[in-house]
Amino acid sequence: MCLHFEQLESRDMPSTFFVATTGNDAAAGTSAAPWLTLQHAVDSIQPGDVIDVESGTYAGCRIGNSGTAAAPCTLQAAPGAHVVVNTPGANNKHGSDIEVENFSGTVSYWVIKGLEVSNAPTNAGIDIRVTTHITVRNCYCHNNQNWGIFLAFSDYPVIAANHCSYSVTQHGIYDSNSGDHPTITQNVCDHNAGCGIQLNADVSQGGDGIISFARITSNYLFNNGTAGGAALNCDGVQYSTIENNLLYNNFATGIVLYRADGAAGSSHNLVENNTVVMAASHSRWALSISNGSTNNVVLNNILIASYPGKGAITIDQSSLPGFHSDYNAVANAFNTDGTSSGTILTLSEWQMQTGQDKHSFVASPAQLFVNPTANDYHLKSGSPAIDAGTSQGAPPPIDLDGLSRPYGSAFDIGCYEWHGVVR
């Protein structure tokens, strides 16, 4: 009997490659012989490989290949390195510094981590289009023309622990078009001309025009909107959770659920355990719901706005079906016609007219917080928000500081849970 043995294909183990300003793209990409450019690095690696970028300033790149679920590709600052990307790469198409796009297919399973990305001349610091499972983590995106981080037609992105600030014309983080399952968490978005975070489903661009199953949690959004645009703006966003976010000193609206270019309103969302304190001057409502954005649930939030003619919640008649709001600490001003010139209702009038917020109460920043003048929005000892929340809607098990919730006899209202600590 003659035995035949099939020769097995050799498979390389994932590797770490290096890029340095002293490198050479004809080199081996090792720590001793690093590559020079990000573009050569991202074009050269295989699934599971890691690119460690040494300290220095670099042109960006366009990523067009993919990793796998079991072996994602990684582009990151080397441990302890300060990496600055401040101009588009030669292969880039949109005037963004780092672009993730293939043009003939979907790019999948990349991690971009620990980079400072700035001064994009046309669009975004990091620009992600037609992708799935792209993670951007711990990046500092600032002073870019339009956006810090931009996404289009991207499913299952994770945008986590980034700092996006000083976008010149628009937003800190902008998730556009019909991508589903985004996770946007633990980011700081501040001093952007437009929104801190915008999700816009853009039916006019194709797709179903709906962003579904978003998780927008534990973000810090402040000093946004000097050119207009809510701190957290949701157009055509459905079946999503907005929780544990701190929004303060924003100059347009706090949280908005609406329809402009989405296929339908922002419906079936849970807005829970957020703290929203609007700028004292030239700001709008803490929460605005309009354009057929039905079946939204609003629980355990602090919703404070003091500018004349504005207040806690404005909702238009088309969005009232299925609306449920309760256990909130609020400003004593509401509106049910969704217009800036509509009749202002007190909490008691709102309760009588809508049947909502039966357990909610009016409170001021001085009553609620440790030191609102210094932007410390932790609950102070004796705050009326302590143990005043509800377990409805499954509140997040930890607060914005990562402390367990609840502490005491019931859940607290707002993004912070008071743990008996004297601050």
Higher pLDDT, 48 or 14: 48
Tell me whether residue 43 is in a domain: no
pLDDT digits (tens, 9 = 90+) for 130-154: 999 999 999 999 999 999 999 999 9
Comparing 51-55, 253-257, 338-342, 348-352, the range with the smallest average pLDDT is 338-342
Tell me whether residue 356 is in a domain: yes
**Res 1: pLDDT:** 42
Question: Residue 245: how many CB atoms within 10 A of its CB?
Answer: 29
pLDDT digits (tens, 9 = 90+) for 87-119: 999 999 999 999 999 999 999 999 999 999 999
Q: Cα separations (Å) of 148 from 226, 254, 292?
A: 16, 19, 30
Tell me whether residue 347 is in a domain: yes
Q: What is the mean pLDDT of the chain?
A: 95
What's the domain range around 147? 123-379
| pTM for the full predicted model | 0.95
Residue type, 55: S
Q: Any idea what the CATH number is for the domain that residue 328 is in? A: 2.160.20.10
SS (H, E, C) the chain: CCCCCCCCCCCCCCCEEEECCCCCCCCCCCCCCCECCHHHHHHHCCCCCEEEECCEEECCEEECCCCCCCCCEEEEECCCCCEEECCCCCCCCCCCCEEECCCCCCEEEEEEECCEEECCCCCEEEEEEEEEEEEEECCEEECCCCEEEEEEEEECCEEECCEEECCCCCCCEEEECCCCCCEEECCEEECCCCCCEEEECCHHHCCCCCEECCEEECCEEECCCCCCCCCEEEECEECCEEECCEEECCCCCCEEEECCCCCCCCCCCEEECCEEECCCCCCCCCEEECCCCCCCEEECCEEECCCCCCCCEEECHHHCCCCEEECCEECCCEECCCCCCCCCECHHHHHHHHCCCCCCEECCHHHHEEEHHHCEEEECCCCCCCCCCCCCCCCCCECCCCCECCCCCCCCCCCCCCCCCCC
pLDDT digits (tens, 9 = 90+) for 38-93: 999 999 999 999 999 999 999 999 999 999 999 999 999 999 999 999 999 999 99
Give the whole-angstrom CA distance, residue 77 versus residue 81: 6
Tell me whether residue 166 is in a domain: yes
Most confident of 38-52, 267-281, 408-422: 38-52
**Res 396: pLDDT:** 95
Rounded (10°) CA dihedral 299, 300, 302, 305: 20
Q: φ, ψ for residue 319 (rounded to 5)?
A: -105, 0
Q: Is the pLDDT of residue 8 over 50?
A: no
Q: Kindly indicate the confidence band of residue 339, based on its pLDDT and cuts at 50, 70 and 90.
A: low
pLDDT digits (tens, 9 = 90+) for 157-179: 999 999 999 999 999 999 999 99
**Res 35: pLDDT:** 98
Q: Which residues lie below 8 Å from residue 393, measured CB to CB, with a gap of 6+?
A: 270, 272, 297, 299, 300
pLDDT digits (tens, 9 = 90+) for 306-321: 887 789 999 999 999 9
- Structural domain tally of the chain? 1
Q: Kindly indicate the confidence band of residue 421, based on its pLDDT and cuts at 50, 70 and 90.
A: low
Residue type, 329: A
Tell me whether residue 40 is in a domain: no
pLDDT digits (tens, 9 = 90+) for 216-272: 999 999 999 999 999 999 999 999 999 999 999 999 999 999 999 999 999 999 999
Tell me whether residue 316 is in a domain: yes
Tell me whether residue 87 is in a domain: no
Tell me whether residue 13 is in a domain: no
